Amino acid sequence: MKNSEFYKWNLDFTTKVLADKFPFSFIWTIKPSEMEVGTYGVYKNFVESTNYGIPLHYANQKSWVHLCHLLKSAIKNLSDGKLLDHGTCYKYESIIDLPLILIGFSKGCIVLNQLLYDWDGEVNSCDALQLFMNKMKKIYWLDGGHAGSSCFWVTDTVILKHLVLKNIQLEIHVTPFQIMNRHKPVVAKEYKIFLRILNDLKANITSKVHFENQEPSIENHFSLLLSFV
């Protein structure tokens, strides 16, 4: 398949899809820090990664610090006398205090995973960061995957317990493209462990397999963006 066949699923289109699904929210889409050979997103701004975007997860990578600064900077740019299309100007304080929902799609889910690794070490690092992290209300994992051979889903009970204690609403949506990949059975194995641990911990969780009666396809992988809500 040529990359051009999936050009429609670019950042602008994805942002519009999310804006349609969450019409009363501010939508912030975050680009990878790098694009290897114009195809592979690399999120070195959140998690140490190889050149092909394979994550090297461990604690204390300051992913929450980066996310906090990134959103604060974006909100400040919006509120500094700049008008939105409909002519309304918003104050910085009215946006920064809103509840926070995170959505990761495909390789973007490695950012969500790294945020979990960093949670315990960063939540008490400073009052401002703690306030920011406490605004987290909901997290969506959408068909997470990457080019590596492991660490597709967080399977550490201790790490997941920190998340569950905050009673954050968790939604996990997958397709056969990832969890029925015959070349990477470990994806399905980790996915099941992830769900089992969260259920054992009595997490506030919803999970769904989309297109489960269809053959794995990258088309349905992208179409999940249209169907997860």
d(CA 139, CA 136): 8
d(CA 4, CA 36): 16
Nearest residue to 138 (alpha-carbon basis) of 205, 93, 87: 205
Query: Can you give the pLDDT of all 229 residues of the chain as single tens digits?
Result: 445 666 788 899 999 999 999 999 999 999 999 988 777 789 999 999 998 899 999 999 999 999 999 998 888 877 765 545 555 556 666 677 889 999 999 999 999 999 999 999 888 788 888 888 999 999 999 999 999 999 999 999 999 999 999 999 999 999 999 999 999 999 999 999 999 999 999 999 999 999 999 999 999 999 999 999 8
* CATH code for the domain defined by 4-226: 3.40.50
Beta bridge partners of 137: none
Strands (E), the chain: 34-36, 40-42, 100-105, 136-142, 169-174, 205-209
Token look-up 């987290």 returns: 136
Q: What is the DSSP letter of 104?
A: E
Query: Rounded to 5 degrees, what are φ and ψ at 127?
Result: -65, -40
Domain ranges of the chain: 4-226
User: Do 140 and 109 contact (CB within 8 A), yes or no?
Assistant: no
pTM of the predicted protein model? 0.92
Give the per-residue pLDDT at 86.
52
- How do residues 103-118 score in pLDDT, each as one tens digit? 999 999 999 999 999 9
